[in-house]
A and B are shown apart, each in its own frame.
Chain A
Amino acid sequence: MKFLNFLRGETFARGIHPPQNKHTAHTPIRRLPFAPHLIVPLSQHIGKAPRPIVHVGQEVVRGQPIAKGEDWLSVPHHAPATGVVTAIELRPSARGPWTESIVIRPHAGATQEDLWGTPRDTQAMNAAEILQAVWDSGLVGLGGAAFPTHAKLMVPKQAKVHTLVVNGCECEPYLTCDHRVMLEKAPELILGMQLAMRATGAVRGIVGVEDNKPDAVTAIQAVITAGKIDNIFVEAVPTKYPQGSEKMLLMALFGVEIPSGALPVSLGMVMNNVGTLAALGQLLPAGQGLTERVVTIAGPGVSRPGDYRVPLGTPISFVLEWAGAQTLHNKGTPNACQLVLGGPMMGQSVASIETPITKGVSGILVFHPEDMADRDDRSTFPCIKCGECVESCPMGLNPSALGMLAAKREYDLMGQRYHLGDCFECGCCTYMCPSNIPLVQQFRIAKQVLREKASAL
């Protein structure tokens, strides 16, 4: 079948087909109540952390700005709940180190309606005003990378953008939050696309959706047809991991390779996640800031999996309690588990269940050791050169050779001759490896070493 796809020129070359496990795709998004404490880390995205503009003891209203951007790449934060700022202190973050966070105690019975913000007429806004409004809304990429959206929509002076591509692939197993957003928020998504197209100067918008979500395609198509919109299209691309990667989706839609090291904007494209644009289409007309996001809570260790609209800053422990990961709280027999933020292929393990949900968290997966047994109980063999990694690497690298070099710590050679820099750590090679070699893990170390070497020079 792979061979036939190659002949038909469909989607990108290589890649893998992990089991989908998207069990929560048919459950509507539910709302989560406020946790007793909401923790808003200041640094949630690439770029400089914003500066808090509230003080301890201050009353805040849901949607009120509580931190202000310092420079171009830093976005403001908004209070996720009406309540009192109880502390501005160091709290654990998903990445490990403790970071400065604003802790808010919501008032009992506080509503989840956004009270802050004045509605705006988006039709009258020009490109600069839209960009400013996006910046003020505190929006970052909700797909996981958390790159500030206004910076992404800001086209460099020498470039000209003609196409806005919207990434609705959601190729990671388990995750369904983008799927549900496309189903339930299709009008907002189209409005967000129209605003983003005005901001970038794009003349067409294309939503790329994997063909395992036909209902999402239908929902978006229905909005396009109803509104007689002639410059927005929705396209079902064959399901394959890692289609959600920028380069892979552009390959699937347009059949072009983004040159190594270049951005899609060099070909006149801007790409955004569906969740981001749906949030944009919702926040901008209302003049509000980002205070919540949709998070998939799934995995074998959850008894009530689903997509939840979670106020930003909600601790994972509260979310898990709500979603029914009760084994966590059996005080007599503490059950070991693994928590993954994001998808199972690229998501990161978290060390503390007091870590808050931030803007870039698309899912929480709970695994127990018995779910991991097929992975953990396996012995590691030397590379038998079966070539599965070469056949699955979407970037066309040779992970087999890279892995053998990494074992010998030949990091320079990996970077110079084997194109380590092109690896985007999708994990396909490690997923496929029958010898159970931690390939992508070694590549991460190698890339880090090379980065440190480069910065030391």
Chain B
Amino acid sequence: MSTAIEIRSAPHIKAPRTVEQIMRNVVGSLLPVCVFFVYQYGISALASLLFVTASCLLTERVVVKTGTQSGSLSDWSAVITGLLLALTLPPGYPLWMGCVAGVVAIALGKALFGGIGFNVFNPALVGRAFVQAAFPVAIASYTPSFLPGRFSSFIPSTLAWPMMVPPDTTAWLQGMQIDGLSGATPLAKWKFDGLMVMPQDLLSSLAGHMAVGPSPLLILACGAYLAMRRFMDWRIPAAILGSAGLTAWILYGMDPVRYPNPFFMMFSGGLMLGAIYMATDMATSPVTPRGMWVYGALIGLLTVVIRYYSGLPEGVMYAILIGNAATPLIERITQPTPFGKTGLLRPKRGASYPLHPEYISREEANAVTPKKRLLKNKPKP
């Protein structure tokens, strides 16, 4: 009988989940955030998103083509890096600097370590850290959101020529004749001027002309979608926000004048974007469930400490990079305990049957008929 029989090793079935599917869903969940970003800042933000993502994809293509890396453009991971990187940059950031950030993110942040899955640091943050060090002035100059004419003209600094100092946007802003404009983020205003923005204004990012990123509420909603479909681990954002909120709350309780309230801490700056999209980068965060809690708690704590006690207004980026660096160590000390080695010999609460029947032998005196204690798992009709 001529039959070709193929031999494979079990398991013979496979869940439909793929790397591409995970990455595609992350990109999909980022799109509303990106659209809102463009709505806030107009065509400058759109150009920034496109240029940075394109530079990431181009670099990825070159690196994959030279044969040093596994993976390909179709795995969508470079798109995530590009979009996230653009979202962390000011909307009026010169495009050429954005492209530098994108190239560095992929080349230094990812390719150097061996490509997808091997990177130690979140590539988008590596790119941002590089340009923060290289062009500190440009990255600190924010423009307010919802400016008139944002869909018809670029923010002047966007179109700066390569290797040129971008024009100062202050004069351009003053020409707008709008009250209360400022080129500083709420965090910088609090840090350097002692001015506070109301947390409820921060929550939606819709109030007035603030120099803020995408709405924390929108990011939370997108993150909830990812967590529900299990494309992201809910533990990491929960740990980061919990630990940052708790630390800020303790400090606020100690000295409410000096420290801002914890809601301001949680909803300002890049904490929400960082907690939900940056810190949860799979390759750079621990795989062990306990490790995720430790990792998140570390990032939350470091964020608040950097924001309060360092010279920088924002600390999410460095906190996540330090967390990334600590990941192998965290994993090492938080390996899961295998089944049967937890030393748990007492039955868990809520078990269907007692471990020992109430009698050992039916012939014993006063033998009672065993009763099932809990009828919990009734068969479904």
Interface residues of A (CB under 8 A from B): 8-10, 12-13, 16, 18-19, 160, 162-163, 173, 203-204, 206, 209, 211, 214, 217-218, 230-231, 233, 235-238, 247, 251-262, 267-268, 317, 328-329, 331, 334-340, 342, 344-353, 365, 367, 369, 372, 374-375, 378, 381-388, 390-391, 394-398, 400-401, 417-419, 422, 425, 427, 430-432, 434-436, 438, 440-441, 444
Contact = CB atoms under 8 A, between A and B. Distances in A.
B344 interface: yes
Chain B: interface size category: 35 or more
Interface in B293-347: 331, 335-342, 344-347
B357 A203 contact: yes
Contacts of B352: 235, 237, 252-255
B22 to A, nearest CB: 6
Interface stretch (B41-49, B95-103, B170-178, B279-287): B279-287
Given A237-B377, A384-B116, A422-B340, A346 B10 contact: yes
Given A347-B12, A390-B287, A432-B17, A398 B335 contact: yes
A162 B339 contact: no
B66 interface: no
A345 B15 CA distance: 11
Interface of B: 1-19, 21-22, 70-71, 75, 114-118, 230, 233, 282-283, 285-289, 292, 331, 335-342, 344-357, 359-362, 369-370, 372, 376-381
A160 B356 CA distance: 11
Contacts, number: 263
Given A235-B377, A434-B19, A336 B5 contact: yes
15 contacts: A230-B369, A237-B352, A254-B351, A255-B347, A257-B344, A328-B1, A328-B3, A336-B4, A345-B13, A365-B12, A375-B14, A378-B18, A382-B117, A398-B288, A438-B9
Nearest to B17: A434
A396 B287 contact: no
Contact of A345 (B11, B357, B379): B11
Contacts of B338: 260, 395-397, 419, 422
A398 B381 CA distance: 38
A209 B352 CA distance: 13
**B interface SS class:** loop
Contacts of B336: 390, 396-398
B282 A385 contact: yes
A236 B3 CA distance: 42
A247 B70 contact: no
Contacts of A427: 10-11
B8 A396 contact: no
A431 B15 contact: yes
Given A259-B341, A390-B288, A349 B11 contact: no
